[in-house]
Structure 1
Amino acid sequence: MRLCLTLLCLLLALPSSAAQLTLELSTGTRHWQSEQLLTHPQARDLSVEQDVAYKRAMHYRAVPLAALLEGVQPGDHLQAVALDGFAAEMPASPLLQMDPTQAQAWLAIEDPKQPWPPLAKGKPGAGPFYLVWRNPQASGIRPEQWPFQIATIRRLPPVETRFPALLPDPALAADSPVRQGFALFQQNCLACHRLNGAGDAQFGPDLNLPHNPTEYFQPAFLRQYIRDPQSLRHWPQARMPGFAAQVLNEQELDALLAYLRHMAGRKAQP
């Protein structure tokens, strides 16, 4: 009995296991262990005043993401995949930017010996890896560009090439609000949702099959739902964030809804 208790105490005293980040880039696949990143030559202590995930100031051990993106060029396209299936689509250029007057991307690393707090009651924390930004307002960085619980970062062709079922009618004018809405859909919605069966996210429902939300929501209620989902229908397990006017202004919301209405007439089987 005493031996069993001793073994149990030893097990409880052991630190949590380290996590692994996978990078799938043009130079090949590389795996980084959390302890390797915590002691990376460019790792430093970083303060984030307006943390998107925790909604308060936070302090991290972090590495400039550009230091890890070997061979990535500004014109490339990257995707960050989270443990829960969230898949953030990101142009590489802002991620490589290290000009202090612009937004700078940093990879925050959770120390297994000092785990980060939960995001909310009953929820896990943002670890093991979290993309955070310094000076995000300088480059218009949106909340969906702060993916957390990252497991993999990979270089991929652009969304338009990978998923033609997402494309609006090519006959539309270049300045059509629908085209602007398509760009906003990629930035704000595609990380969680598919449309026409197209997309890599495994988090939320398809937004066109079998029905588009513009087909079953009254317009005013759809706008309210996007702004504050919990104000329209509340349940504890809800995970969709609200998009305040500071994130998606009225003109941008109009354009996003124009894209969704347009795609309701362009249903395609996956």
Structure 2
Amino acid sequence: MKPILALFALLLSLPAAAAPLTIELDHSQKTWQTAELLKHPDAQTVQIIDDVSYKRTMTYRAVPLAALLPGLKPANHLQAVALDGFAAELAAAPLLEKNGARAWLAVEDPAHPWPPLAQGKPSAGPFYLVWTHPQAGHISPEQWPFQVSKFKQLQTVGERFPALLPDPKLAANDPINQGFALFQKNCLACHRLNGGGDAQMGPDLNVPYNPTEYFSGDFLKRYIRDPQSLRHWPQAKMPAFTASVLPDNELDLLVGYLRHMAGRKQQP
């Protein structure tokens, strides 16, 4: 067993390797290599305060993501696909902003690899979507995908996965529809619902049972706020959604959507 552990430790300590990043848009497709991105004319050094993944200030060589998305319009939709199966659903409008919250593609330099995310874990590379001034755009932690391998333009979540949609009779500004928007932003990167979604990390949140059906009282909200306070184990992956990330009124809307969907089960 010791030789295997030693080999694993050696692999983790090896320098980061150059990697490809694929960007698939409706009108174009391009694969960038690490070296190309590090030398991109718009690349610069950016400092990220309170980095979501590293929990401290980090400095990266990064390219404004908008510079890699030619022809993309604010009404479009992207998905960021990570090496571990995480699939972040991203509205294009915030990614194209040049003021306020701004999206950057951080590029890991093989000659200067980033630190591991935790002991025994890889780094956030080879590519990591980071934000400067995220508070200005109310950017959630799920909008910081790391270990990204691909960005691809897709139809909206509702168009691709109608099983996620609330009752169509509801008004567009109904609280349930507001909760659906928050579900897409905060949950869909890891979870499916009624079998709908591309994520592979977490369980389906409606079949066979919706969490509103087995968490009594305020325990579901407490679980979302701090999963480890209710179910503690070292391999847990679900992050805590603090009030600064998901204010109480938004948490209520999110739980309202889940409760509504408990009455709209569809088998995958």
TM-score over 0.5 (shorter chain): yes
Residue 153 of structure 1 is aligned with which of 139, 151, 159? Answer: 151
Note the C-alpha offset of 1:199.
0.3
Deviations 1:151-178, CA, capped at 9 Å, x for gaps: 1000001111111000001112333221
- Contact kept, 8 Å, 1:63 with 1:107, in 2: the verdict is yes
Aligned residue type for 2:105: L
* TM-score (normalizing by structure 1): 0.92
- Contact kept, 8 Å, 1:27 with 1:70, in 2: the verdict is no
CA distance in 1, matches of 2:175, 2:27: 38
Deviations 1:107-164, CA, capped at 9 Å, x for gaps: 0000112111111122211101001111111111111111111010000011111110
Note the C-alpha offset of 1:79.
0.7
Partner of 1:4: none
Partner of 1:69: 69
Name the CA shift for 1:89/1:237 in 2 (closer, same or farther; >3 Å): same
**Moved beyond 3 Å, runs of 4+:** none
- Contact kept, 8 Å, 2:194 with 2:204, in 1: the verdict is yes
Partner of 2:210: 212
- Contact kept, 8 Å, 2:116 with 2:123, in 1: the verdict is yes
- Contact kept, 8 Å, 2:103 with 2:132, in 1: the verdict is yes
1:266 partnered with 2:257: no
Residue 139 of structure 2 is aligned with which of 118, 123, 141? Answer: 141
* TM-score (normalizing by structure 2): 0.92
Q: Point out where structure 1 has 5 or more consecutive residues left out of the alignment.
A: 1-13
- Contact kept, 8 Å, 2:16 with 2:126, in 1: the verdict is no
Note the C-alpha offset of 1:219.
2.7
Note the C-alpha offset of 1:16.
4.2
Partner of 2:233: 235
Report how many aligned residue pairs link the two structures.
Answer: 255
Partner of 2:59: 59
Note the C-alpha offset of 1:17.
2.7
Partner of 2:264, secondary structure, is: coil
Partner of 2:8: none
- When Rg is computed on C-alpha atoms for both structures, the one with the higher figure is 1
Partner of 2:29, secondary structure, is: strand
Q: Point out where structure 2 has 5 or more consecutive residues left out of the alignment.
A: 1-13
Partner of 1:165: 163
CA distance in 1, matches of 2:84, 2:16: 20
Partner of 1:80: 80
Aligned residue type for 2:257: Y
Deviations 1:155-207, CA, capped at 9 Å, x for gaps: 00111111100000111233322111101000000010000000011111100
Aligned residue type for 2:57: A
Partner of 2:17: 17
Partner of 2:104: 106
CA distance in 1, matches of 2:78, 2:198: 13
- Contact kept, 8 Å, 2:195 with 2:204, in 1: the verdict is yes
Residue 197 of structure 2 is aligned with which of 196, 199, 222? Answer: 199
Partner of 1:7: none
Partner of 1:106, secondary structure, is: strand
Partner of 1:247: 245
Once the two structures are overlaid, the 10-residue window that deviates more, 119-128 or 170-179, is 170-179
Aligned residue type for 2:229: S
Aligned residue type for 1:75: A
